[in-house]
Each structure stands twice: as C-alpha cells, then as structure tokens.
Amino acid sequence: MSRSERLLALLQLLRGHRYAITGTALAQELGISLRTLYRDIATLQAQGAQIEGEAGIGYVLRPGFTLPPLMFSEEELDALVLGSRWVAEHADHTLSAGARSALAKIEAVLPAEYRQQLQANALLIGSYRTSQSTDETRLRGAIRQQRKVTLSYRDLKESRSERTVWPFALGYFDKVRVLMAWCELRQDFRHFRVDRIDHLQLEESPYPRSPALLLKEWRASQQIPQPGFIADRN
C-alpha cells in the first residue's frame, strides 16, 4: 500500500468510528507500526483534518472535514489519466481541449508524489481517424439548453429523412457517437449515429420535459446498449 493510499484508508477508518479509537487498533487495521500511524495522523492534521486525541487514549475525526480533492489512490489517478487521455484523443476539438486543460490543472496543483506518478503514467490510448463531421458541441449545447433540434439524417440503408427531436444524451462508442433523442415523428425514443447527420438546426423552442427525465424514461424503456452496440432504429 502506498503512502497516499494509506492516508486515505486511515481517514476512512476514522470516519467509520463515532467515538475515539486507539492508535493500536488503527495501526493493526492498517498493518503499520504505531510510529508510522502517529506520523500519518500528523500529516493529515497538517492538511486540515480535525483529528483529536493522543497516544494511549485514542483518536476521533470531527465532523465537517472534507477530504482534499487532490488526494487520490493509485487506481483513482490511473482512471483520471486514462479517461482524460481517451477524451483528448477521440472526442471533438472542444472536449479534447477541455480534457487536456483539466489534466494540466490537476497536475499543476498535485503534491510532488502524485505529480510524479501522473507524469510516469504508462496507460496509453491508441489513436484512429474518424469521419465525424457533425459538430458535437452544438448537440451537447442543445442537451444542456433543452432545445429541440431538426436533423437531416441518413440511416444505414441510406434512406434520408428529416426529424425534429428532443436530444437528451450522447453515447461515445469506440468509433462512432450516438445521439439519443425523443423523435416527434415516431413519438418514441430513437438513436441517431452522429456521423450520419448531414445537417442539424437548433430550434429556438425548448422541449417540454427535462433531459434527466427523458434519460430515466429511456433507461426504463429498453436494455442499455453495451459498448460497441449501435442502434439505428429510425
């Protein structure tokens, strides 16, 4: 267990006890010496944790302490790096820039131990080219603003249609993006591959139900697609 993971584990142990727990019991739970435990408690106190108590009596974490957001376990840091690198490599320009900026901000304020771990991270993302042409930024904006969108769409049989839809989610699969929406023409949920949208127009009028409610109803209406699944039922 790394030192950062040990500090997190110590905080979780203290959070799980309403009353004072002895240093001996904490050390046994963590598999460390009392000397190491006292040093870890001092580190957490220096970072703002209101840990009260003393050797021979016990320790208690007072309510209200928020774990510093930049303390990560090794797996959490790996997940952040891997996710950010995937978005930076495969998302549209706006999201890609956002992922790189977020990762740079995290790196800039990480303690030295975490910064070295991030810089040495060996989880890499393979690259590929897509034929994506539709601006996903506008679709994400329509979802956030709860606005209707009119699409010119080609299905997998190359049949063309024009739909006014209520967009509520975007699915990011390996090589395609899928827009989930309520279709006014079909009066039902439909899935649209973003690379098959030839043109889209954001309408001024909002749709009447929230994206969160539509997403909940969509999940209840069908089996959630697994990675790699592409629905084109239009």
Condensed to tens digits (0 to 9), the pLDDT of residues 14-34 reads 888 878 899 999 999 999 999
Shared domain check, 83 and 53: no
127 domain-assigned: no
For residues 12 and 145, the model is more confident at 145
pLDDT at 121: 80
pLDDT at 1: 65
Shared domain check, 24 and 85: no
Most confident region among 98-112, 118-132, 201-215 by mean pLDDT? 201-215
- What's the rounded mean pLDDT across residues 49-78? 75
Shared domain check, 82 and 47: no
pLDDT-above-70 percentage for the chain: 86
67 domain-assigned: no
The pLDDT mean for the chain works out to: 83
129 domain-assigned: no
Most confident region among 61-70, 105-114, 176-185 by mean pLDDT? 176-185
Distance CA 126, CA 90 (A): 9
- Range of the structural domain that residue 36 is part of: 3-61
Number of structural domains found in the chain = 3
- What's the rounded mean pLDDT across residues 58-87? 77
182 domain-assigned: yes
pTM: 0.61
3-state helix, strand, coil in the chain (%, to 5): 45, 25, 35
Distance CA 40, CA 130 (A): 49
Evaluate if residue 103 carries a pLDDT over 90.
no
Shared domain check, 165 and 140: yes
Evaluate if residue 131 carries a pLDDT over 80.
no
Shared domain check, 163 and 215: yes
* pLDDT tier at 132, thresholds 50, 70, 90: low
At 195, which CATH number? 2.30.30
Shared domain check, 143 and 215: yes
Distance CA 64, CA 45 (A): 14
Distance CA 142, CA 85 (A): 25
Residue type, 125: I
* pLDDT tier at 70, thresholds 50, 70, 90: low
Condensed to tens digits (0 to 9), the pLDDT of residues 148-164 reads 999 999 988 899 999 99
Residue 4 corresponds to which tokens in the numbers above?
């950062």
Q: Which range has the worst mean pLDDT, 145-154, 186-195, 216-225?
A: 216-225
| CA 58 remoteness from chain centre | 38
Evaluate if residue 96 carries a pLDDT over 70.
yes
126 domain-assigned: no
pLDDT at 65: 59
Shared domain check, 171 and 107: no
128 domain-assigned: no
**Domain stops at, among 40, 61, 82:** 61
Q: Are 203 and 219 spatial neighbours (Cβ–Cβ below 8 Å)?
A: no
The helix (H) or strand (E) run that includes residue 114 is: helix 112-119
Shared domain check, 209 and 151: yes
Shared domain check, 156 and 217: yes
Evaluate if residue 228 carries a pLDDT over 50.
no
